[in-house]
Chain A
Amino acid sequence: MAVYATELPIRPDLDASHSEIASRWATTGSWWSGAERIAIVGEVRQARDGDDLAPWESPSQVDGLITDNHLLPTAAIDAIWRITNHPGTLTADWHASIISRGINPEAYVELVGVVAQANAVDRFADALNLARVDLPEPSSAEPQRLADKSVVVSSHWVPTAQVKGPNVIKALSAVPFEVDSMSLLSSAQYLQLGDLLADLVSDQNSLTRMQVEVIAARTSKLNECFY
């Protein structure tokens, strides 16, 4: 069954990718349970739909924004809001402050993956005035939370594996499941990551490659992303 009920011509592969991503959100992760991962997506929605906070304001500092029995630690919630609403203001010091509040560095990587995906999937629905994807029932299995000694902090703030390719692909490599999710979404919404530089001229669905790159660059600039 299609995720989106609409007369707009949403490609089946695009619709299916959002369905698959929603299922992956509900899956037990490496560091966060299915319920926690769904709570992360829910918090992205709170951050987008709630009152605007300045970059230096955290939801944990505002009375009433975080419920007492929230499933996620306050440091994670603060990170989710900041990454969602002010990504261009993030600094190494900010990242260090989140980690110093007890978030495991690899768990942070997994959180970034889920937050980023939720921003993409919901922004798509919102822009087309569609209902956002329903959040599935989460898996009840507990995450293993096993540190991978082969991932180290070298080029990024976060630990990464020794993998080849663009640095933005390497960014989530400490949690391969999130790299796969990113690839799944990018393949449906943008282009196959393997074609990034290998094929600069082919049309992508109804768009020319140049139209695709203008949209990508304009969006990145609006989000004040230097990378």
Chain B
Amino acid sequence: MNQDFQISFEAIDGSHVGDGGIEHGALLSRLCEAMFYEDPDQLASVRDDVIEVAGAKVLVDAVAVSANFYMMTRIADATGTPLDAGTVEPSVEIRELVGVNNFTSRREAQA
């Protein structure tokens, strides 16, 4: 895969950090945060911003992707899903960068 751009993990860390080289990265991250915290005013505001900047289709598709991970995270955490073989070592640096090593679910996923 040939990529002529650079990306970082900024947008995963939070909307306050930056786009991370991804189009509308910070805005999409803000949408995820509003969905998580469920503050109606925050949600209304970010919905308007996404529609204005990226369009209504992007809003719907982004909400769908985020919603999907309310399913996947619950399946993983409620079943004691371990990390996949072959991903433990290669993901060490990424896990450190995105700051997930202090999660309770780390202990369980690496058991």
Residues in A lying within 8 Å of B, measured CB to CB: 8-11, 14, 79, 83-84, 87-92, 95, 109, 112-113, 115-117, 119-121, 123-124, 126-129, 155-158, 166-168, 170-172, 182, 185-186, 188-190, 200-201, 204-208, 210-212, 214-227
Contacts and interface: CB of A to CB of B under 8 A. Distances in A.
Given A8-B56, A116-B75, A207-B58, 6 more contacts: A87-B78, A128-B60, A167-B84, A171-B75, A204-B61, A218-B66
Interface of B: 1, 7, 9, 11-14, 20, 22-25, 28-29, 31-36, 38, 43-44, 47, 55-84, 95, 98-100, 103-111
B63 A127 contact: yes
B78 A115 contact: yes
A225 B62 contact: no
Given A189-B67, A215-B65, A116 B24 contact: no
Contacts, number: 240
A223 B73 CA distance: 7
B1 A200 contact: yes
A155 B82 contact: yes
Output the residue of B24, B35, B66, B99 with the most chain A CB within 10 A.
Answer: B66
A91 to B, nearest CB: 6
Given A116-B75, A127-B66, A211-B25, A225 B103 contact: yes
Given A8-B59, A127-B66, A214 B25 contact: yes
27 contacts: A9-B60, A83-B77, A88-B103, A92-B111, A109-B79, A115-B74, A116-B72, A119-B70, A120-B69, A126-B38, A127-B34, A127-B47, A127-B66, A128-B60, A188-B64, A189-B64, A207-B61, A211-B22, A216-B65, A216-B68, A218-B33, A220-B73, A221-B100, A223-B70, A223-B74, A224-B103, A226-B83
